[in-house]
């Protein structure tokens, strides 16, 4: 009797009986370790442990252990299922090793999803062809020939559409812009909201511009969002020829620096460019703020140029007249306890000024050189918290005043911003000091106002837990 060890199936059966449990235990440990680290390789290892290893062991037992013919239907079915699972493992493994967790900016990260879909289709087609050819003995050569001829015919018939698709694919692969970037093209300027195989969709603010990728790929355009932190706008203004250029540039730079849209850490710059023109470069956080920043800047410099005695657009300003100053002095006379002779005395030293909405009249930390009395409009006093948040303190109406610490030479604790167009009457420190020198009650009222504003600041900070 022939020994059992010498039979052809013995070693195969022993290999399967020992290798399958050992392989399952080892793959289980590997899978658990990868799952704890949330690795993308956990799924391929799961497929290998639960499907490929058992199916491979079953196929070995059928063919080598029980000596079943490879042409038998059960063997072919098991081999087909195993081939399908191997295909799935191959696709999952390629995705996990090449594309998941790819570094930003690498070629693996830039590959469009359509390229991955085409690669998956090719792998699946080749895999199925191998399975049907080697397992079932099918002739797949004719099928590939027919598909190739059909592809050529379709490509010739749809060459215009295919050209746009190819342009879109190349544009997606190169990635000269991303969703959310701002583009300046020959026909549109706006934010990219969608890129597909055929066209790029640009939100221009006045509608949606649909631009074919073939046109965009052949055109020259500017990506306003790259490099990050480099976007700025230029505003050209005209002043009178007798306006000192240094004064004009200083005023333009100061107004641009106060804009809320200015990029943190960046400094605007104004320079004369000839012909009474001045160009102000304003670095912004995003191209989406171009319109609001330009509108606010032009509004603010209209007021600031008149306060500084400059002539924007070569225009004169006749607002600060003697009659208006007299009228304003009469309005604030009860507050300052001014007599007729006091008003006449202050008339040469008082000055009217206007500020635009949201413009800063005084900033925290400054030591004011004058007292400012509100004649028209409203002003908001605010203070910054520890986290940089703006905390409202009080709203001032006509008849109130700011800059009261001009007498004590103390820095201001609050920032004053106009809530709308405001008109103020300003009196320099030395004239206010001369006024209160003979009015002890007025000095006490100003001191009481300083103390009340300090209490308001403390209450505002306490209300937010600071």
For 225, residues 6+ apart whose C-beta sits below 8 A from its C-beta are 177, 180, 181, 182, 231, 286, 287
The predicted structure's pLDDT at residue 125: 78
Q: Note the CATH architecture for domain 166-223.
A: Roll (2.30)
Q: What is the pLDDT of residue 273?
A: 94
Average pLDDT for the chain: 83
What is the pLDDT confidence band of residue 99, given thresholds at 50, 70 and 90?
low
Residue 427 is inside which H or E element, if any? strand 422-428
CA distance 232 to 250: 19
How far apart CA 312 and CA 314 sit, in angstroms, is 5
The two three-digit tokens of residue 247, written as one number: 């004064």
Separation of alpha carbons 197 and 212, rounded Å: 9
Under DSSP, is residue 201 helix (H, G, I), strand (E, B) or coil? strand
Q: What angle do CA 323, 326, 329 make, to 5 degrees?
A: 150
Instruction: Indicate the pLDDT class of residue 318, thresholds 50, 70 and 90.
Output: confident
**Nearest CA among 320, 323, 292 for reference residue 305:** 320
Q: Which tops the pLDDT comparison, 75 or 266? A: 266
Share of the chain above pLDDT 90, in %: 30
**Residues 60-72: what's their mean pLDDT?**
74
The per-residue pLDDT for 158 is: 47
What is the DSSP code string of 310-375? --BTT-----S-HHHHHHHHHHHHHHHT--HHHHHHHGGGEEEEEE-TT-EEE-TT---SEEEEEE
Q: Give the span between the Cα atoms of 16 and 9, in whole angstroms.
A: 11
End-to-end CA, the chain: 96
Largest CA distance in the chain: 141
The correct CATH number of 232-307 out of 3.40.109, 2.60.120, 3.20.20, 3.30.70 is: 3.30.70
| Three-point CA angle 389, 225, 266, nearest 5° | 50
**Residue 203 CB contacts under 8 Å (≥ 6 apart), including other chains:** 190, 191, 192, 193, 209
Quick: pLDDT tens for 190-219: 988 887 767 888 998 888 888 887 788 777
CATH of 322-463, one of 2.40.50.140, 2.60.120.10, 3.40.1410.10, 3.40.1440.10: 2.60.120.10
Residue 124 token pair: 């699946």
| Domain range summary for the chain, segments of one domain joined by + | 4-111, 166-223, 232-307, 322-463
Least confident of 244-248, 414-418, 437-441: 437-441
Q: Give the pLDDT confidence score for residue 112 in this predicted structure.
A: 58
Q: Which two tokens stand for residue 432?
A: 């206010």
**Average confidence (pLDDT) over 290-314:** 94
Per-residue pLDDT, 7: 67
What's the whole-number mean pLDDT along residues 440-460?
87
For residue 282, pLDDT beyond 70: yes
Neighbours of 321 (CB within 10 A): 10
Tens digit of each residue's pLDDT (9 = 90 or more) over 344-402: 888 999 999 999 999 999 999 999 999 999 999 999 999 988 777 889 999 999 989 99
Contact 420, 374 (CB under 8 A): no
pLDDT in tens, 116-166: 666 777 777 777 777 777 777 766 666 556 566 656 655 555 455 556 666
Q: Is 7 left (phi over 0), alpha (psi -120 to 50) or beta?
A: beta
What pLDDT is recorded for position 381?
Answer: 95
The CB density around residue 393, as the number of other CB atoms within 10 Å, is: 21
Whether residue 67 has pLDDT greater than 80: no
Average pLDDT over residues 260-275: 92
């Amino acid at each position: 009797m022939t020994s059992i060890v010498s039979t052809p199936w013995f070693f195969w059966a022993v290999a399967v009986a020992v290798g399958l449990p050992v392989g399952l235990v080892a793959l289980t440990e590997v899978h658990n370790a990868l799952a704890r680290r949330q690795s993308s390789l956990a799924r391929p290892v799961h497929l290998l442990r639960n499907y490929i290893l058992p199916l491979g062991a079953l196929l070995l037992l059928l063919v080598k252990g029980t000596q079943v013919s490879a042409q038998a239907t059960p063997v072919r079915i098991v081999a087909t299922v195993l081939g399908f699972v191997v295909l799935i493992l191959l696709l999952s493994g390629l995705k996990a090793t090449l594309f998941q967790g790819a570094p930003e900016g690498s070629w693996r990260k830039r590959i469009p999803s359509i390229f991955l879909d085409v690669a998956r289709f090719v792998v699946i087609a080749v895999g199925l062809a191998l399975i049907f050819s080697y397992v079932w003995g099918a002739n797949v050569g004719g099928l590939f020939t027919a598909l190739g001829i059909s592809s050529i015919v379709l490509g010739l018939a749809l060459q215009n559409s295919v050209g746009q698709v190819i342009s879109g694919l190349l544009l997606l692969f190169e990635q000269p812009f991303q969703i959310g970037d701002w583009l300046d093209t020959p026909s549109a300027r706006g934010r990219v909201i969608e890129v597909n195989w055929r066209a790029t969709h640009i939100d221009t603010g006045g509608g949606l511009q649909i631009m074919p990728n073939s046109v965009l790929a052949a055109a020259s355009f500017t990506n306003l969002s790259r490099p990050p932190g480099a976007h700025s706008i230029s505003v050209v203004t005209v002043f009178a020829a007798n306006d000192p250029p240094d004064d004009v540039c200083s005023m333009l730079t100061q107004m641009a620096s106060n804009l809320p849209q200015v990029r943190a850490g960046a400094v605007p710059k104004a320079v004369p460019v000839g012909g009474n023109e001045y160009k102000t470069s304003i670095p912004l956080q995003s191209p989406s703020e171009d319109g609001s920043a330009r509108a606010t800047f032009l509004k603010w410099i209209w007021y600031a140029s008149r306060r500084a005695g400059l002539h924007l657009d070569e225009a004169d300003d006749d607002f600060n007249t003697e009659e208006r100053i007299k009228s304003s002095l009469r309005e604030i006379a009860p507050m300052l306890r001014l007599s007729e002779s006091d008003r006449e005395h202050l008339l040469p030293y008082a000055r009217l000024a206007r500020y635009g909405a949201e413009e800063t009249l005084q900033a925290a930390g400054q030591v004011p050189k004058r007292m400012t009395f509100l004649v028209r409009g409203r002003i908001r006093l605010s203070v910054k918290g520890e986290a940089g948040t703006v905390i409202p303190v009080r709203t001032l109406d006509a008849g109130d005043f700011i800059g009261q610490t001009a007498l004590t030479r103390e820095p201001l604790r609050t920032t004053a911003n106009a809530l709308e167009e405001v008109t103020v009457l300003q009196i320099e420190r030395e004239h206010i000091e001369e006024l209160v020198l003979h009015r002890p009650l007025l000095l006490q009222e100003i001191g009481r106002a300083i103390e009340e504003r300090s209490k308001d600041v403390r209450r505002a900070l306490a209300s937010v837990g600071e």
